[in-house]
Amino acid sequence: MSKHNLDYLDELEAEAIHILREVAGQFEKPALLFSGGKDSITLVRLAEKAFRPGKFPFPLVHIDTGHNFPETIQYRDEMVARLGEKLIIGHVQDSIDQGKAIEQKGKNASRNALQTVTLLDTIAQHQFDACIGGARRDEEKARAKERIFSVRDEFGQWDPKRQRPELWNIYNGKIHKGENVRVFPISNWTELDVWNYIRRENIALPSIYFAHERDCITRNGQLMAAAEFLNMDEEDVITRRNVRFRTVGDMTCTAAVESDAYLIDDIIDEISASKISERGARMDDKVSEAAMEDRKKGGYF
Amino acid sequence: MEILKFITAGSVDDGKSTLIGRLLYDTDAILADQLEALHRSNRKNDDGSIDLAILTDGLKAEREQGITIDVAYKYFQTEKRKFIIADAPGHIQYTRNMVTGASNANLAIILIDARKGVVEQTNRHSFLVSLLALPQVVVCINKMDMVDYDEATFNQIVDQYKVLAAKLNLQNVTYIPVSALKGDNIVNQSANMTWYDGKNLLEHLETAEIPVDDSAAHARFPVQWVVRPQTEELHDYRGYAGRISSGAFKVNDQVTVLPSGFSSTITKIELLDKEFNEAFAGQSVTIHLQDEIDISRGDVLVNSLAKPEVSQLIEADLCWMDTRVLDTSLTYLIQHNSKVTRCRIQEVLYKFNINTLDKVYEEEFKLNDIGRIIIKTADPLAFDVYQNNKANGGAIIIDSRTNVTVGALMLRAAVE
């Protein structure tokens, strides 16, 4: 390698910073969607690189389903305090209380789908014209085709047939009033890239990413953390397991994997050897082969 | 480790999806749950083996129609390199998608069906590769299993393609005989073609040169954002944030701000807690200058010893990407790096018949048309010739009525 060829992590980082600065330069009211997961934590680190010593030109926005892992919320609050940046929280419970969203019933009830309602409401209320998210193209095949600047109509809908050509490093963020753009700065990163970057940058993560002992139940062949939101009944047998989580979503739809990965090096080894993709641990993608495509068309990230 | 970005050009019939599927499958880039979905699928090859093309299927709409509409990005890595594939559809009605996919690639794989040789679409794909100035081409002569792995057939197609490559001035072309379906010369050296002693496709991709752009001769830094904390302790802090699009900058370099023309000296190059004595193409940094001059988003810093062209009247190649035809009486927007200004297509010089590569003298510019035009911009653009400097020579046209990206421009020369 020539000394002036960028190492892949440097190249991915530089691309993501460029995209974040384009958002700052092109939009009036952008926001960074923060889920508490490793991908959005990575985005926060990239935003520090892009804008420090200045303030972020956008607030962080968290769509709180009320079914989060407590560890995620604790992490979020500590991080925001350290950064000194603004946090806006959209509560799914508010959407339910206002009658805009209806709580699912039954054993597999999840608030995952309701998030979209709260997200769209929060976007409308604050008139955000761009929302930065941590989705990656390697996660799923609908995402593999989505642009870095993904234009959504006022209903948040993604129309794969209306995607704008995206050439070189030129991003067209021009929109009509009411539309907004979802921006994905780490589109070209893989799961392993994110972990290698977190290790290189020494970024702290919520503790549930690392192996720990926890009460679990088995649902649809997958291990779930025992929690009051899971509508558990006598069929659900609680066992104590050594687990960790590969993604951080709701407790109702994020499956655990049995693991002894206590350190980030262990996790990187585990993922390198793993034969199950990350979204394979998300029950929400299992519904149909086009689950993600359909949800994106409905306004989901 | 570095990243090689490449595009695959070919249509479904050439076995493009099978080739990509084969690369992913044989490099172990397919995970168990994806593989399970693959095995569950009803689509099988004639001999009952799994249809690897399914791996590149994307959207429901595409599966229903059995075609690829849009560029899909795929990722895999080996011990030597990381790869990003832009998998673009090859049919003529998706020319704009191929142009999109090619714009960021270092290398193009062009697929030729060994039974058919160089055909019309080979011309088209090769023309686009030359138009977009991709530095390297790998011609994969596929379906060698269908021609009994015959060396003479391979050589004949190589000779055919050499004529085309010369015509299009493609300098760096490699030829590999493969069968994506059977796996010959993709990741493993073929036992069926012992007469071929070159690298297999993966070996070639692992060792293909990735060009380095570290010359001060065309150092360009489009300013994206001005960092001004305006706090008490950082009262005078003023940093210009951007990504070096080409060349290299050093502390103490004399730079000129374009289009204004003011000059100053670089005092610091930094990013968060790191300082650099030198930074080069591809790096996102924040640059500080000695003098307080008026610089904002859309301006570009260049090495004062090697300035680009600055003009409002520019000859360019245009690829039209919208279903509405080009209207030469209409004012559009042009976006060139971080700069956006109004523009008009002043004159259509000619179009290319991209199948025969002939010039066509016809004014109407429709979806997927490519030709040479003269564009007039409201503000001057500081640009380089695309073929020499892609990063500072490419631009897009936006229709301000719809906000859609309607054209890709490869800038060629300032018009006197």
Q: How confident is the model at residue A287 (pLDDT cuts 50, 70, 90)?
A: very low
Instruction: Give tens-digit pLDDT for B314-326.
Output: 999 999 999 999 9
Q: Search chain B and give the residue with CA nearest A13.
A: B284
Average pLDDT over residues B242-267: 96
Q: Which of A5-9, A12-16, B96-100 has the highest mean pLDDT?
A: A12-16
The percent of residues above 90 in pLDDT, for chain B, comes to 70
Q: What distance lies between CA B99 and its chain's CA centroid?
A: 7
By Cβ distance, the residue of A14, A25, A164 closest to B225 is A25
Task: List CB contacts (< 8 A) between B396 and chain A.
Answer: 165, 167, 170, 172
Strand, coil or helix: what is A30?
A: strand
Q: What is the pLDDT of residue A295?
A: 60
Please determine, for residue B90, whether its predicted confidence score (pLDDT) is greater than 80. Answer: no
Q: What is the pLDDT of residue B68?
A: 59
Give dist(CA B265, CA B305) in Å, integer. 12
Report the residue of A56, A152, A167 to disrupt the B interface, i.e. the one with the largest count of B CBs within 10 Å: A167
Q: Search chain B and give the residue with CA nearest A296.
A: B59
Please determine, for residue B35, whether its predicted confidence score (pLDDT) is greater than 90. Answer: no
Average pLDDT over residues A54-71: 92
The percent of residues above 70 in pLDDT, for chain A, comes to 89
Q: Say if A200 is an interface residue toward chain B (CB within 8 Å).
A: no
Q: Say if A105 is an interface residue toward chain B (CB within 8 Å).
A: no
Q: What is the pLDDT of residue A283?
A: 52
Is B228–A54 a contact, with Cβ atoms under 8 angstroms apart? yes
Q: Which amino acid is at B112?
A: I
Q: How confident is the model at residue B286 (pLDDT cuts 50, 70, 90)?
A: very high
Task: List CB contacts (< 8 A) between B97 and chain A.
Answer: 165
Q: What is the pLDDT of residue A67?
A: 84
Task: List CB contacts (< 8 A) between A24 and chain B.
Answer: 224-225
Least-confidence region, from B214-218, B265-269, B390-394, B410-414: B214-218
**Model ipTM?**
0.92
Average pLDDT over residues B260-267: 96
Distance from the Cα of B356 to chain A's closest Cα (Å) equals 25
Sheet holding B136-142, edge to edge: B72-77, B81-87, B2-9, B107-113, B136-142, B173-177
User: Which position has the higher pLDDT, A146 or B64?
Assistant: A146
Please determine, for residue B69, whether its predicted confidence score (pLDDT) is greater than 80. Answer: no
Q: Search chain B and give the residue with CA nearest A176.
A: B403
User: Which position has the higher pLDDT, A275 or B288?
Assistant: B288
Please determine, for residue B11, whether its predicted confidence score (pLDDT) is greater than 90. Answer: no
Q: What is the pLDDT of residue A1?
A: 41
Q: Search chain A and give the residue with CA nearest B84.
A: A188
Is A174–B99 a contact, with Cβ atoms under 8 angstroms apart? no
Least-confidence region, from A144-148, B42-46, B374-378: B42-46
Distance from the Cα of B101 to chain A's closest Cα (Å) equals 8
Q: Which of A94-108, B21-35, B273-287 has the highest mean pLDDT?
A: B273-287
User: Which position has the higher pLDDT, A113 or A208?
Assistant: A208
Q: What is the pLDDT of residue A100?
A: 85
Q: What is the pLDDT of residue A6?
A: 83
Average pLDDT over residues B306-335: 96
Task: List CB contacts (< 8 A) between B282 and chain A.
Answer: 6, 10-11, 14
Task: List CB contacts (< 8 A) between A293 and chain B.
Answer: 59-60
Q: Search chain B and give the residue with CA nearest A282.
A: B33
Average pLDDT over residues B70-94: 85
Q: Which of A144-153, B44-53, B209-218 has the highest mean pLDDT?
A: A144-153
The two structure tokens encoding residue B285: 């940094």
Least-confidence region, from A3-17, B140-154, B164-178, B295-309: A3-17
Query: Any idea what the Cα angle at residue B195 is, between residues B191 and B197, rounded to 5°?
Result: 85
By Cβ distance, the residue of B272, B297, B408 closest to A165 is B408
Chain B (4-33) residues lying within 8 Å, Cβ to Cβ, of chain A: 31-33
Please determine, for residue B215, whether its predicted confidence score (pLDDT) is greater than 80. Answer: no
Q: How confident is the model at residue A290 (pLDDT cuts 50, 70, 90)?
A: low
Output the average pLDDT for chain B.
90
Please determine, for residue B389, whether its predicted confidence score (pLDDT) is greater than 50. Answer: yes
Phi then psi for residue A126, to 5 deg, are: -95, 0
Output the average pLDDT for chain A.
86
What domains sit in chain A, N to C, each tagged with a CATH number? 8-193+290-297 (3.40.50.620), 208-285 (no CATH)
Task: List CB contacts (< 8 A) between A5 and chain B.
Answer: 2, 210, 212
Q: Say if A8 is an interface residue toward chain B (CB within 8 Å).
A: yes
pTM beyond 0.90, yes or no: yes
* Beta-carbon-side half-sphere exposure of residue A108 (alpha carbons within 13 Å): 13
Please determine, for residue B364, whether its predicted confidence score (pLDDT) is greater than 80. Answer: yes
What domains sit in chain B, N to C, each tagged with a CATH number? 2-207 (3.40.50.300), 216-303 (2.40.30.10), 309-414 (2.40.30.10)
Please determine, for residue B70, whether its predicted confidence score (pLDDT) is greater than 90. Answer: no
Please determine, for residue A262, whether its predicted confidence score (pLDDT) is greater than 80. Answer: yes
* DSSP state, residue A254: B
The two structure tokens encoding residue B339: 């700069």
